[in-house]
Amino acid sequence: MNRSQRTLFRISFAALVLLIALGGLALAAGKKAQAAKETKTADIAATVNGVAIPEKDVDRIIKDMAAQYKAKTNNPITDDMMKNAKTAILNKLIDAELLYQAGLKLGVADLDKKVDDQFNQKKKQFATPAAYEKALKETNLTEKDLKLLVRKDIVINNLLGKEIADKVTVSEDEQKKFYDENKDKFKTEESVRASHILIGVSDKATAEDKKKAREKAEAIRKRLLAGEDFAAVAKKESTCPSAPQGGDLGFFSKGQMVPEFEKAAFALKPGDISDVVETKFGYHIIKVAEKKPAGTVSYDEAKKNIEQYLKGQKVQQGVNDYLAKLHKEAKIEITKG
């Protein structure tokens, strides 16, 4: 299962609003009241108004988090981190179950159809049925589990939309006040928009391999100087993932690229083509399309993002307040944590 498919299972089959509003974790499937009776007490992490949250759901998320942490840091998760993570995950799953139960009371029109439609859309994103089945196995989920996650996703998003997000507004005065009080947040550094053609070499390349790669890059540069279209050549010759976009890397500021590449790019004028630049990735030919000097984003330019940010803050507070109310009214029993 590739990274995009793992992400699909980790995020798309989870309550996206929880991930944003709660800074939370992927939802696990809480079972209905009948399941609480059928599940052994030792296997239950908590119950929420009689609905069981199985220990295996907490463990599944922990396993995924530990794998992500190790991949990013190359270090295993410690016992203390594991303990704290389990507590945090269980709390989020309790929050999710409370929201799901409240959402079911509110109701969703044509829920079954929406679940089937969204589930089928997600399933189609896998290249083959075998890839889908492999992903199920690796995430230790059944198709029934996934459909329940989709159902929870729809129900919770509908609830938070109607009860909180749709009621949130941000005034013009609030936006201007935020801009005026946070001018430092709207300062921009000098940036360039550049494209490049990469003739990549591996870290195990021999001196002869590197020589051939440089010679190829030099030959390509001569073709460009003779008038060949940069984007067209990049699409055909570049080994960088940016090749399909004609080598376009978009805008970047200092500190975002490796030093050799950055130095060459910022030294160019718009329209110029660099000499062959060597980095740890291989040999680059760079073309700068545009430069932006350092400055401050105007209020009009920042207004939309400010509104979205402030609305997000209000939605998050609204979710927290709503959950506090649900917690007061609920019967929650934690058996493990």
176 and 320 Cβ atoms separated by less than 8 Å: no
What is the average pLDDT across 263-272?
A: 97
List every span in the chain annotated with CATH 1.10.4030.10.
3-170+312-334
**Percent above pLDDT 90 for the chain:** 66
Whole-angstrom CA distances from 325 to 142, 154, 302, 328, 330 are 33, 21, 35, 5, 9
pLDDT score at 173 = 97
Q: How far apart are CA 56 and CA 54, in angstroms?
A: 5
Average pLDDT across the chain, whole number: 86
CATH fold of 3-170+312-334, please?
Triger factor/SurA peptide-binding fold (1.10.4030)
Angle 93-1-142 from CA coordinates, rounded to 5°: 45
pLDDT score at 72 = 84
pLDDT score at 65 = 81
Checking if the pLDDT of 39 tops 60, the result is no
64 and 26 Cβ atoms separated by less than 8 Å: yes
Non-local CB neighbours of 240 within 8 Å, separated by 6+ positions: 196, 197, 198, 200, 247, 281
5 and 139 Cβ atoms separated by less than 8 Å: no
User: pLDDT, tens digit, for every residue of 213-226?
Assistant: 999 999 999 999 99
Token pair recorded at residue 114: 């929406």
Whole-angstrom CA distances from 21 to 25, 52, 85, 150, 302 are 11, 24, 18, 18, 22
Non-local CB neighbours of 1 within 8 Å, separated by 6+ positions: 131, 134, 135, 138
Following CA atoms 28, 29, 34, 35 in sequence, which dihedral angle do they give, to the nearest 10 degrees?
A: -60
> What pTM, to 2 d.p., does this model score?
0.66
CA atoms in the 13 A half-sphere facing the CB of 134: 10
Strands 282-292 and 248-253: unpaired
pLDDT score at 60 = 82
| CATH code linked to domain 190-293 | 3.10.50.40
Other Cβ atoms closer than 10 A to 120 = 10
What is the average pLDDT across 305-327?
A: 95
pLDDT score at 141 = 80
Per-residue pLDDT band at 14 (split at 50, 70, 90): very low
List every span in the chain annotated with CATH 3.10.50.40.
190-293
Whole-angstrom CA distances from 151 to 12, 24, 271 are 12, 18, 52
Q: Is 13 exposed, middle or buried (0-12, 13-18, 19+ CB in 10 A)?
A: buried
DSSP calls for 187-254: EE--EEEEEEEEEE--TT--HHHHHHHHHHHHHHHHHHHTT--HHHHHHHH--STTGGGTTEEEEEET
Other Cβ atoms closer than 10 A to 280 = 9
Residue 277 belongs to what H/E stretch? Answer: strand 277-279
User: pLDDT, tens digit, for every residue of 1-11?
Assistant: 444 433 333 33
DSSP state of 111: H
Q: Which of 101, 106, 92 is nearest to 49 (CA)?
A: 101
Angle 255-186-300 from CA coordinates, rounded to 5°: 135
Of the two residues 94 and 77, the one the predictor is more confident about is 94
Q: How far apart are CA 308 and CA 328, in angstroms?
A: 30
